[in-house]
């Protein structure tokens, strides 16, 4: 056993080298850009910083971004769970293709996705014409923003829930049924209870991803100030105006929100897992 453990530990380089390379990569790719952002924000002063983030146009862009991301995350939680369930529990022609298509938003450039969605959901597009008949405007509205965000962040929910479903065999459902549980009770009290940590994690990651979305949104949003302008676009506008301080201030709000969400997701997931195992 000791020899086996030593063999496993010797597969990778020693701790010093592995740790040094990991820290170097984190510093170059993550901490260095964040340090540059922090330096721009620190040079503003509190009054200027507050003036930028509390400007009516900034507040409107925050509202559009957060509400659209929240709506997209709710859609992804339901659709992502359904997709993961179908792919995991059923065998049908085209299953592998469906499984592969889930990752398409990761491989497809977001600008291409935005152009495609804008063309599909335009008033004269293949899908948009039917919504237009019903009096629903998709392109150049917050609905289009929500659809674009949902498209780019859906894989986070599916790929987070899918491994848990694969480990959760149908025997659990059969055992609940033999004890007299109805199908609804088996799903909500047995299956969904075990899926909750993964579902919350995937939904939270989808929400965080949507907060910083840019390419897939700007082509379908219309980009009207105070109406359909997202934070990422406003940051880009400030950069084009060479107002790097304002751009950094706006970006810092999204960064702080993303970090808080990520740490919160990790904490909630750990607590739910410990509670489930303890129960």
Q: Summarize pLDDT for 202-231 with one digit per residue, the tens.
A: 999 999 999 988 888 888 888 888 888 999
pLDDT over 70 (residue 5): no
- Does the pLDDT value for residue 2 go beyond 50? no
Quote the CA–CA distance of 250 and 232 in Å, as a whole number.
9
Separation of alpha carbons 234 and 127, rounded Å: 29
Tell me if 48 sits within 8 A of 245, measured CB to CB.
yes
Mean pLDDT of 151-156: 92
Question: For residue 40, what pLDDT is reported?
Answer: 76
Specify the pTM: 0.82
Q: Quote the tokens at residue 111.
A: 């600008």
pLDDT band at 1 (very low <50, low <70, confident <90, very high): very low
């Amino acid at each position: 056993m000791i020899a086996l453990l030593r063999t496993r530990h010797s597969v990778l380089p020693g701790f010093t080298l592995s740790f040094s390379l990991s820290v170097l990569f984190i510093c170059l790719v993550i901490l260095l850009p964040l340090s540059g952002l922090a330096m721009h924000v620190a040079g503003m002063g509190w009054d200027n910083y507050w003036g930028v983030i509390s400007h009516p146009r900034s507040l409107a862009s925050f509202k559009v971004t957060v509400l659209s991301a929240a709506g997209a995350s709710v859609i992804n939680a339901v659709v992502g769970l359904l997709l993961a369930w179908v792919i995991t529990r059923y065998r049908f022609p085209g299953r592998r293709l469906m499984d592969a298509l889930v990752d398409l938003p990761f491989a497809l450039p977001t600008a291409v996705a935005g152009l495609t969605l804008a063309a599909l959901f335009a008033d004269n597009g293949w899908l948009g014409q039917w919504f237009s008949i019903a009096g629903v405007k998709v392109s150049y509205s917050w609905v289009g923003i929500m659809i674009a965000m949902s498209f780019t962040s859906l894989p986070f929910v599916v790929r987070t829930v899918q491994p848990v479903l694969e480990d959760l065999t149908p025997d659990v459902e059969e055992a609940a049924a033999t004890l007299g549980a109805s199908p609804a009770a088996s799903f909500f009290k047995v299956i969904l209870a075990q899926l909750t940590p993964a579902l919350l994690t995937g939904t939270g990651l989808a929400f965080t991803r949507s907060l910083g979305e840019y390419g897939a949104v700007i082509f379908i949003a219309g980009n009207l100030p105070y109406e359909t302008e997202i934070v990422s676009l406003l940051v880009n506008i400030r950069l084009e105006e060479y107002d790097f301080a304002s751009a950094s201030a706006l970006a810092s709000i999204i960064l702080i929100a993303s970090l808080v969400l990520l740490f919160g997701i990790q904490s909630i997931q750990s607590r739910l897992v410990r509670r489930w195992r303890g129960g």
